[in-house]
Amino acid sequence: MVPRASYDRGFGRLKISLRRQQIESAKAGNTAMLIWPGKKLLEQADKREIKEEATVTQKTATLEPTPEDAEFLRRKARVVLKHAEI
């Protein structure tokens, strides 16, 4: 069994080696290898643009008062007219 410290050291060296190879690949013109370090090392991000569109339609309806509502409105109108005459 490999001790943890040896494993961590070996894994660290692997990451360094891999990063060097990626940088060399980027220098050789591999654009994906140019994008990767920009995102990881320089904290750059892809620009995401979200566009939303909505259509709003307005429907109108005429409401007819119920007979009870019509009677209520007639009574209120009489009261208002009576007070206006005073």
The per-residue pLDDT for range 40-71, each reduced to its tens digit, is 777 778 777 778 888 888 888 888 889 999 99
* Burial track 5-18 (b if 16+ CB lie within 10 A, e otherwise): eeeeeeeeeeeeee
The per-residue pLDDT for range 25-35, each reduced to its tens digit, is 888 988 887 78
Do residues 73 and 65 touch, judged by C-beta distance below 8 A? yes
pLDDT at 80: 82
Domain of 30 in residue numbering reads as: 1-45
pLDDT at 40: 76
In a domain, 9, yes or no: yes
In a domain, 71, yes or no: no
In a domain, 3, yes or no: yes
Cβ neighbours for 47, distance < 8 A, ≥ 6 positions apart: none
Do residues 47 and 33 touch, judged by C-beta distance below 8 A? no
Do residues 2 and 13 touch, judged by C-beta distance below 8 A? no
pLDDT at 39: 81
Query: For the chain, how many structural domains are there in total?
Result: 1
